Amino acid sequence: MSQNNHEEFLNKLASTDCFLDTCDGGEPGSREAPSIWLFGLEPGWSKKDENDEKNGGGTTKLELESYSTALQMKWPFNRNAFKLLAAMNGREISDYKSFAEEQHIFERGSQEYLKGNLHPLAFRQVEDWDRTASSSTGFLDKESYRLWIKENRFPVITEWIERCRPKLFIGVGNSHRKEFMTVTRSPSYEERKFPINGFTKKMYLTKSGLVPLAVIPHLSRGKNGLNSDEAIQKTADKIRDYFWNIFNHS
């Protein structure tokens, strides 16, 4: 990728006007009709995604632009996100597919929900960095890329949060709670723990920032993540209890 393309990519990430183009789907809402935002650290990229792309069966640009629920159903992260949102809205987790289809969750142009990531480039692991990433961004290492994102993209996210005032910002990934607190300007949080099948799950909740913030375990990974319907249900229940007004006076 040429230097001009590096600059174009970075300019897009640092542009307030281009913010929605860097999100996955949905709508940001407004102060009058706020939505729920769900943000991860960065998009995932599985071995299957890599193989599909190599074999010509990857997701097309048009499919990504529409971000249909049918497309999203292919991904464990999105399916679990649907389950969480369904449970938060008082629906049965087993009914998550119907809920997502009825609400058109995260689809382009649909209201109520916005999905995105703090860092827009996709990787298989958080620590990953390679020649392709370096070529795309102009940075030799991931730490330099992360620092640039914090200094240039985080203020854009915060500006949109101030503009739209989502009724709830959900950050996915406990180990990155400081980043989610930075963009929502949350000075403190309350930790919540609950046991699931012999493991202790943690989440962090606060009303102290620009908007209500819930930082939850990852939606598709490992023993510390929300890797069961029971864990997702417990998380949804705690969010509903803590942010009672959001779900009873929306």
Give me the amino acid identity at 107: E
Quote the CA–CA distance of 61 and 29 in Å, as a whole number.
24
Percentage with pLDDT > 90 across the chain: 71
- Contact status, residue 211 vs residue 166, Cβ threshold 8 Å: yes
Give me the residue spans of the domains in the chain: 3-248
In the predicted model, is pLDDT for residue 144 greater than 60?
Answer: yes
87-102 pLDDT tens trace: 999 999 999 999 999 9
How many residues are given for the chain?
A: 250
- Arithmetic mean of pLDDT, 74-91: 96
224-238 pLDDT tens trace: 899 999 999 999 999
Kindly report the CATH number that applies to the domain delimited by 3-248: 3.40.470
Is the entire prediction scored with pTM above 0.85?
yes
Q: Which class for 248: exposed (0-12), middle (13-18), buried (19 or more C-beta within 10 A)?
A: exposed
- Whole-number pLDDT of residue 1: 43
Model confidence at 4, pLDDT cuts 50, 70, 90, reads low
Quote the CA–CA distance of 210 and 187 in Å, as a whole number.
10
Quote the CA–CA distance of 40 and 206 in Å, as a whole number.
18
**Cα-based distances in Å from 168 to 18, 172, 190, 207, 215:** 22, 13, 16, 9, 11
Most distant CA pair in the chain, distance: 52
Beta strands in the chain (DSSP E): 25-26, 36-40, 113-117, 168-172, 190-196, 199-206, 213-216
